[in-house]
A and B are shown apart, each in its own frame.
Chain A
């Protein structure tokens, strides 16, 4: 079965992890903000993040992450939700607006002007970190054991 929500999960996850202020900045560059009404005004809370040892072991609690969430609706009836890391309410508003606009005709433009750059930045940041970590990697091997 194909997960029909997969694309939406993708962009919501992307905006949830974006650096502070970036989503709002990209949205304002891309388009004028439409009018909207709040379904749930931005509110700050925490969610428990869980992990599994080695990815397959028993689940354990890593810790709580501060999360800001909100929900809004556009005049056309589209509902946008946002759950983002941190306590920046303006970012949550922008993320929810993008989530709602991605369900309208503006989706293609937004993907090009907001989501793709965001994804590129995130990938570059990840690669940079991975490269720095890789530089410190040490391989242990034995050259001569001196037994002869």
Chain B
């Protein structure tokens, strides 16, 4: 049983993590587009997409916050074995993963400083479903406008108002993900 907990890492770390990184980068560059991503299987309740993103972006230097149900023994053991990332509270986290309800309030996360706006958190939001309908997105990386099923709009508008500070979001559902950087306007 313990062995099953630690299984599900990349079988070919070099190629799979570069493919996954490319997918995350493309998703961030084109907010609102939904892309398939796979490679890693994290223990429940994490989705394939969230697990793959964590394995790709996290290492011993990136503190991770596990919110709500994601904070269980299996996920902690899996994350420690594969990435070595320390599990911390929201204020020190560079990455946070969990459902939208569990992650809030967003004011707890680091939004960067005027000198270093990159010292901010990236939130991996587990969604029940992702589809290109709902809130309207405009801004860099979007030709005219895009649509994405966001859990709400108000929080993202407030986040946009902090620009160039703010949080970046990756939405995951099953083996698909979409991203919403701080530069995108949400209506």
Contacts and interface: CB of A to CB of B under 8 A. Distances in A.
Q: Do A and B come from one complex?
A: yes
B3 A79 contact: yes
Nearest to B8: A39
Interface string B1-32: 11100110101010000000000000000000
Nearest to A81: B81
Contacts of B11: 38, 41
A77 B2 contact: yes
Contacts of B3: 39, 73, 77-79
A39 B9 contact: yes
A70 to B, nearest CB: 12
Contacts of B9: 39-40
A7 B11 CA distance: 31
Interface residues of B, number: 10
A39 B7 contact: yes
B13 A43 contact: yes
Contact of A79 (B2, B13, B82): B2
Interface string A72-94: 01000111000000000000000
B6 A77 contact: no
Contacts of A41: 11
A123 B63 CA distance: 42
Interface in A1-57: 37-41, 43
A73 B7 CA distance: 9
A79 B3 CA distance: 6
Interface in B65-82: 81-82
A98 interface: no
Contacts of A71: 6, 81
12 contacts: A39-B6, A39-B81, A40-B9, A40-B81, A40-B82, A43-B13, A71-B6, A71-B81, A73-B3, A73-B6, A79-B2, A79-B3
Interface of A: 37-41, 43, 71, 73, 77-79
Given A39-B7, A39-B81, 15 more contacts: A38-B11, A39-B3, A39-B6, A39-B9, A40-B9, A40-B81, A40-B82, A41-B11, A73-B7, A77-B2, A77-B3, A78-B3, A79-B2, A79-B3, A79-B6
